[in-house]
Amino acid sequence: MSEPIALCVSDIHLSHTPPVARSVESNWYGVMRRVLKQVKGLSYELDVPVICAGDIFDRWNSLPELINFALQELPEMYAVPGQHDLPNHSYEQIKRSAYWTLVEAGKVFDLKAGTCRAIRGAQLLSFPFGFLVTTLRDGKHTDEIYMAVVHGYCWVEGKQHFGAGMSGHVSGWNTEGYDLAIFGDNHCGFQHGKIFNCGTLMRRKIDEINYRPQVGIVMSDGMVEPRYLDTSEDVFIEVPEHGSQKVELIRAEKFLAELRTLDPDSLDFKDAVRFYLASHSASKEVAEIVLSAIGE
């Protein structure tokens, strides 16, 4: 009889401040704690380890307060880093990151790129951000399931962002030889054959207001059972009724996400933001929201 052997999650995106869409939340740390409590509770209930397919943090250089929160509230887990966990999206710089602080503290067991790690009932092969899934070179050596843990954009029709390239389509990922592939990065969760894309653990954007965050219960036969989280206490900003206003708000959210990648030490940050907005031909509405967010 098949039994649970692991719990899989991805795209936690812990952040010190709430995202724009959730800025009306009275206690953002309380919101994050509420979500993580559900994950830990299910892990304890099933008595299985947690596997995270990347992006524990929203920023690689998170504040000490947020790192301390993560040490206290995250379940112990096996993980690969996502691009948000890596300085300049560079795997070679991983030891500069807040993610690595969790590794050093023993909260996270880092699944090093290209390695195989045995857990109860499974062999985990790891592919952090920037690494393509490779075919099992030597085949299988045990009766356990062989699971690829991947942080890379994978999508199916209806579960993708606008303009997603065909290279990220499920048909473009090589999962030959694996019993299961767990993906992170795409915030829209889905299951397609032996691919389980976890989706975001916390709703952070206006266009995610109707999304149901999930975790995956990995079974010993390689199947994954989704378990949806309780989001009944989530609070979003009021969505403008006028369609164009909603589009502008979504565009502003995307701009803010991109601006987080700017290096605040390379230039005066506010000057860098103004230059970025001008060079990307931001609309007046988007520019006003972004400049307001940085105190301009």
CATH code for the domain of 122 = 3.60.21.10
178 lies in the same domain as 33: yes
- pLDDT score, position 206: 85
40 lies in the same domain as 100: yes
* Enclosing domain of residue 254: 243-293
How far is the C-alpha of 228 from the C-alpha of 33, rounded, in Å?
17
Instruction: Return the structure tokens found at 232.
Output: 């009944």
Q: How confident is residue 43, by pLDDT bands cut at 50, 70 and 90?
A: very high
Q: Is 199 part of a structural domain of the chain?
A: yes
Q: Is 223 part of a structural domain of the chain?
A: yes
Q: Is 146 part of a structural domain of the chain?
A: yes
Q: CA-CA distances (angstroms) from residue 223 to 140, 146, 218, 220? A: 18, 12, 6, 7
**What pTM was computed for the model?**
0.83
Indicate the number of domains in the chain: 2
Q: Is 234 part of a structural domain of the chain?
A: no
DSSP letters for the chain: ---EEEEEE----B-SS--GGGTT-S-HHHHHHHHHHHHHHHHHHHT--EEE-S-SBSSTT--HHHHHHHHHHSPPEEE---GGGSGGG-GGGGGGSHHHHHHHTTSEEE--TT-EEEETTEEEEEE-TT------SS---SSSEEEEEEES--BBTTBS-TT--GGGBGGGS--TT-SEEEEES-SS-EEETTEEE---SS--SGGGTT---EEEEEETTS-EEEEEPP-TT---PPPPSSHHHHHHHHHHHHHHHHHTTS-TTTS-HHHHHHHHHHHTT--HHHHHHHHHHTT-
264 lies in the same domain as 122: no
User: Which of the residue ranges 35-44, 78-87, 287-296 would you say has the lowest mean pLDDT?
Assistant: 287-296
256 lies in the same domain as 215: no
Question: Are the CB atoms for 216 and 230 separated by under 8 Å?
Answer: no
143 lies in the same domain as 254: no
More confident: 242 or 134: 134
Q: Is the pLDDT of residue 164 over 90?
A: no
169 lies in the same domain as 195: yes
258 lies in the same domain as 215: no
32 lies in the same domain as 147: yes
What would the pLDDT profile of 192-228 be if each residue is shown by its tens digit? Answer: 999 999 999 999 988 899 999 999 999 999 999 999 9
- pLDDT score, position 251: 60
Q: Is 235 part of a structural domain of the chain?
A: no
Q: Is 238 part of a structural domain of the chain?
A: no
Instruction: Return the structure tokens found at 205.
Output: 């954007």
203 lies in the same domain as 287: no
221 lies in the same domain as 272: no
252 lies in the same domain as 211: no
What would the pLDDT profile of 95-138 be if each residue is shown by its tens digit? Answer: 999 999 999 999 999 999 999 999 989 999 999 999 999 987 66
Last residue of a domain, one of 177, 202, 228: 228
Last residue of a domain, one of 200, 228, 256: 228
What would the pLDDT profile of 245-289 be if each residue is shown by its tens digit? Answer: 555 566 666 666 666 555 555 455 666 677 667 766 666 766 766
Q: Is 117 part of a structural domain of the chain?
A: yes
